[in-house]
Amino acid sequence: MDASVHTHYRRGPRLVHETSRRLRFKLPLLGDPRLDYSWMQTWLEAIHGVDSVRINRPARSIVFAFDGSVRARAAILHCLNSAPQHPIPQGESEPPAAADASPLILKGALLLALPVLSVPVRKALTWLSISRVMIDGVDTLITQGIKVEVLDAIAVGLSAHKGDFFTANITDFLMSLGTYLEQKTQRQSDQMLRKLLRPEPVQAWVERDGQLCQVPEDQIHAGERVVVGVGEKIPIDGLVLDGMARVNQSSITGEPLPVRKEAMDRVIAGSVVEAGRLRIEARYVGDETTTARIARFIDESLEQGSDTERLADTLADRRVYLTLGTGALVYALTGEQRRLESVFMVDYSCALKLGTPLAFKSGMYRAAQSHALLKGGDAIEALAKVDTVVFDKTGTLTRSDLEVTDVIVLDPQRWPRERLLAVTASIEEHASHPIAEAIVRAARAENLNHIEHGEAEYLVAHGMRCPVDGDCLVIGSRHYLEEHEGLDFSPYRAQIDALYADGKTLLYVATTDEPIGLIGLRDSVREDARAVLDDLRRLGVSSLVMLTGDQRSRAEALGRELGIDDVYAEQVPEEKADVIQRLKAQGRHLAFVGDGVNDGPALATADVGIAMARGAELARATADVVLLEDRLSTLVEAMDIAQRTRRLVEQNYHAAIGINTGVMVGAALGWLSPVSTAVLHNGTTVALLLRALRGIATPSNTRQIPATTVNSVTQTHAIGG
């Protein structure tokens, strides 16, 4: 911002009105023509305790509805006072228009007052009330040709010209009511979706001027050095300069276990350091703020129409000609202006043009309430047609958490099973990776006592060494124990192969002299996975497929457990997309469910891409559907809503055509007066709009799967210290 502009907008907010739960400010910053209002609204609605934000650009006014707490009020003031110091995203977007009920109220009041007004006053007020419809009709005729706005203007104008002010006003009122309902629902839906995708700012440690300073991740510049420690998320794509760490990138690459990273290795934004410390050179960083990216992401989703909406618009415009032609024919045959006016009151398009997008918008709103973001009408239509669902494995059908399934003793005389598990857990409790956590949980579940041991030596990305009762135990991968410790597990190949065949991950345990045990672990399958797959079949899905980069034996074992129809294992991202293409070539309507960057090609290739709640930002941006809660059953709810929304659209479409055709026939035959026609036609439109709003509120036949609550209970005799 240049100095003059900064000086002009440096004046802070001025509180002009306050109630216990509402604040209204004058904010000069709103006059900056460069301000992206979507960014501004999303940023302010992210304040904890704020329910809604309404921006009035011409008045430089902003209204907050909040929970009434002192903390929320203070946070609002702090954000508004700090706004001029924040970069203002470049943009042309206007603040989302609120549904204004005042014109509707005025038109209703005029209708009630008509009987007591003099004729000149009725005439003047009627033409004033319908002036917007007339102006829009003339403008549309000049710029776009014959559209529904032209027909509306003719219908209302004929009644007013004839002096039938009641018919003109009631028609205008009913059309305004439909527009108001549409705007109100759209705004409520948009607000719901924005709130559900509020950005969560992430801070990062960056080297600047020889010192470490903490900055928001969107303020990191390419070439800067970023330091990431245990438990922290890597905020950028970059190259490791020094350090060594175990990095969990399951949400990015789909790998179930953490990987070792050291100098000259590449790291990906969104992965988490579980052990160690890295110093990274930032190579790829976003040039936009997180809030701006999210705001644009949502806005683009909400603007996406559907084939059905576009078809409805086309058919509605074509039926304008049908109405005009029918009216002209009736007038030519009968010469009755009354019949002409009655026919012109039926335009079909209100119910078609308003009802169809409103039903889709309502479906998006209902899905958002069920914690699923459906990106526009096309996503709803495509999801409703799906007959094949393809799942990525890690993070989708399974959780990233592991569970112990087998404890195999190789030296039962010295190391019985309970002692082997207890001593391994006693050592592994000093580590923080998923395998260690799973083993500790297993020992606690069996109430095994803690085994005293010496100081544990943790070798990053390799394993652990620790003295126990005169022995030195080594725990880790087979590669580590055989290549670095000189041990030999080949005599136990049959047992190892059997565990691998069942899809297990193995931890090897030995002393420095001999192998003593194997511990088998497996990804924990989501508790609701089987029920979700069964529900998908009940919704009409005929084929369930699993794609994964994991080993074939593990993948096939999980496929058998869950009843998957086809399993494709050891797939790289490009191969996943090829599989999707082959399945689509068979004529299937296909959805792909994934959560990582490696799923991007498959998400983009599928008819419907579905991203899990904890998925990478790239996956969420690529997907057509984003599950906003880490619960697989959300997918069933989203598909059920999509199918019911599609049925609702079809039913409303046929109802609109059938009822309005009947009304037009009655008008053409002289059975219906202009007022009766207007009431029936517009009443039908309002009824269909209300049905679009409320028609999918309650599930029809599909069983709702409740969120599964997993309680972690600490045992009395659990391993400690």
Asked if the model's pLDDT at residue 660 lies above 60, the reply is yes
Domain boundary among 65, 85, 105: 85
Q: Are 594 and 602 in contact (CB under 8 A)?
A: yes
**Mean pLDDT (whole number) for 512-532:** 88
Counts of helices then strands in the chain (DSSP H, E) = 26, 24
Weakest-pLDDT range from 9-13, 272-276, 391-395, 652-656: 9-13
**Mean pLDDT (whole number) for 656-671:** 86
Asked if the model's pLDDT at residue 696 lies above 60, the reply is no
Distance, CA of 614 to chain centre: 11
Residue 423 lies in a domain: yes
302/36: higher pLDDT: 36
State the chain's mean pLDDT as an integer: 77
Q: Are 686 and 659 in contact (CB under 8 A)?
A: no
Domain boundary among 58, 85, 112: 85
Q: Is 288 exposed, middle or buried (0-12, 13-18, 19+ CB in 10 A)?
A: middle
Q: Is 580 exposed, middle or buried (0-12, 13-18, 19+ CB in 10 A)?
A: buried
Asked if the model's pLDDT at residue 245 lies above 60, the reply is yes
Cα separation, 530 vs 435, in Å, equals 25
The one catalytic residue in 152, 317, 347, 392 is: 392
**Mean pLDDT (whole number) for 435-447:** 86
Residue 557 lies in a domain: no
Residue 330 lies in a domain: no
Cα separation, 479 vs 508, in Å, equals 9
CATH code assigned at 283:
2.70.150.10
Of 201, 286, 274, which is closest to residue 236 (Cα–Cα)?
286
Weakest-pLDDT range from 5-14, 240-249, 261-270, 531-540: 5-14
Residue 153 lies in a domain: no
Q: What is the DSSP string of 523-555?
A: EEEPTTHHHHHHHHHHTT--EEEEE-SS-HHHH
Residue 500 lies in a domain: yes
Domain range for 9 is 3-85
Cα separation, 236 vs 239, in Å, equals 10
Residue for token pair 């009409």: 540
Q: What percent of the chain has pLDDT over 90?
A: 17
Residue for token pair 């960057």: 597
Residue for token pair 């014109």: 103
Q: Are 678 and 167 in contact (CB under 8 A)?
A: yes
H or E stretch at 664: helix 633-668
Cα separation, 644 vs 598, in Å, equals 32
Cα separation, 107 vs 376, in Å, equals 33
pLDDT tens-digit readout, 322-348:
778 888 888 888 888 788 877 877 776
**Mean pLDDT (whole number) for 533-537:** 95
| Range 122-125 contact pairs with CB under 8 angstroms and sequence separation of 24 or more | 122/165, 123/160, 123/163, 123/165
Q: Are 372 and 634 in contact (CB under 8 A)?
A: yes
Of 424, 415, 474, which is closest to residue 719 (Cα–Cα)?
424
558/533: higher pLDDT: 533
Residue 531 lies in a domain: no
| pLDDT range class, residue 533, cuts 50, 70, 90 | very high
**Which amino acid would we find at residue 458?**
Y
Strand order in the sheet with 61-66: 14-19, 22-26, 61-66, 50-56
Structure tokens at 149: 């706005």
Q: CA 86, 615, 302 angle in degrees (round to 5)? A: 60
Say which residues have a Cβ less than 8 Å from residue 387's Cβ, sequence separation at least 6. Answer: 540, 541, 542, 543, 588, 589, 590
User: Is pTM beyond 0.75 here?
Assistant: no
**Mean pLDDT (whole number) for 376-392:** 89
- Reported residue count of the chain is 721
Domain boundary among 499, 524, 549: 524
Cα separation, 488 vs 485, in Å, equals 9
Catalytic residue check, 299? no
Residue 251 lies in a domain: yes
Residue 692 lies in a domain: no
Q: Is 97 exposed, middle or buried (0-12, 13-18, 19+ CB in 10 A)?
A: exposed
Residue for token pair 């969104």: 270
Q: How many domains does the chain have?
A: 3
CATH code assigned at 443:
3.40.1110.10
pLDDT tens-digit readout, 46-93:
677 788 888 887 788 899 999 888 888 888 887 787 654 444 544 444
Asked if the model's pLDDT at residue 542 lies above 70, the reply is yes
CATH code assigned at 75:
3.30.70
**Mean pLDDT (whole number) for 413-422:** 90
pLDDT at 620: 64
| Cα 633 to Cα 192, 215, 341, 370, 547, distances in angstroms | 20, 37, 53, 10, 19
Q: What is the three-class DSSP state of 514?
A: coil
Buried residues in 71-90 as b, exposed as e (16+ CB within 10 A): ebbebbeebbeebbeeebbe
